[in-house]
Chain A
């Protein structure tokens, strides 16, 4: 099935390319040929694969430039472990915009985002705009689900939704939407969503985002927040978030009692100057029945000279669920214009519970990228994982990219 879809994709793209030439359409994109090696976590076997990515846009097909096509997919062939061919089509859709200056139509595989729900769908989306202060949107199609090995959608996996959003106001956003997900058992999810954003006094942003589950008649997610930015270099954030676990109606877990999860977040992001930005945050988590956790985080981005960038992040978590103490260091260096060198370390110590004790995980990596000319670049990245499971576990990728 996957092979068949990949064949259709490539045939379709071929047709698009030839059509583009005939109509003087603009065809742009990237071909990325990759070689990857890694350890299959489940079997413990070393695996090596060739991968081919294709990202494509075909625009200005018609004289008015209203019709365009976009596609992105990959195919991988294992050459060491007998796992064969694996493919993933991320999106492939045709877009016709500004029909009667009021309608945008998008047909094909696409990622759709409403406040009430988001999904990757094989279907369509129609947006109605320029009809007043409110714009409307409707979408629907087959629900595309990926698991580790490929597509996991069943025959009856579908989603659809409608949305209305406020337009024309520079400092206000508001959306009200509905999202339904169907599966073999019937209606799996039935949700209303809302989103709101308002800028105030040139230095304040208030925002909210919520989902209400009509089956359990509970707010599955509520987020409210405020950002205060006395100047554009400093942003202070305060958020309150709560969620109530919702399962598909076809899952036995949808009938069980659960606790509400709540979280308060405080954060500051400060750009000291062109060379240094810093951030710090704290979140308090509540799991119900007196279970709580605290998470502290700090980070900085330093650019001592134009050709060097250093990123440092550290966080510390303690409380319900376990302790985690660690961070990452990354450095990027551009010695000459076409060459980029990079490296980094991830280091974490953690303790899931008293019985497991403290463990450590480290990742060391190095990478480089060389731009051969305006349209071609080659890159390589290797990493070594040293952790509870592996004393040394090497993995990496080599990529050759061609832009057209």
Chain B
């Protein structure tokens, strides 16, 4: 396999965690002998339009996205609707590229992304595309907060996956499992977390930002109806 196009489906565009992850897969792809990939942002009009054309021209497409309300972001579904004519092309004997996906979510467990993985696998079948697999990764929101050193193992997994895509046309099962990390918490761990989550101090991702933005006292605001009482 030779040409790859990377589609960044994050509404945040260039500054997204999805983009950072796709860039590492691209490095592995080149290390595995593939040409330098084209990178397009679906959140930009020009990137979106080019991505529709590029689908027909590439050997392989890797579509990366953050999980938005437990599924693909709206702009990714819009892209999928825009390439709908490719279903008929494939049915008439035409060729569609090999397609792989990357789904990252802010939740720490991989399980949240499994239902959309099932959809994406079916999408590949619908398009008559060879399915390279779906890279699933939890705790994606922490990527931009961590020093690069802390992300090193993640980057190594993503490079390996890119290399596998270039050489075998698909991601290796063992590597997909490794990159996914924690699938779900064990019962004792979730019981412990359940207690710990009630401590406001644990919400370390959010509290400093509430304070910085001057909305600490207003953080439970409920502008459209009665608020839930605290502690629930």
A and B assemble together: no
A contact residues vs B (CB 8 Å cutoff) = none
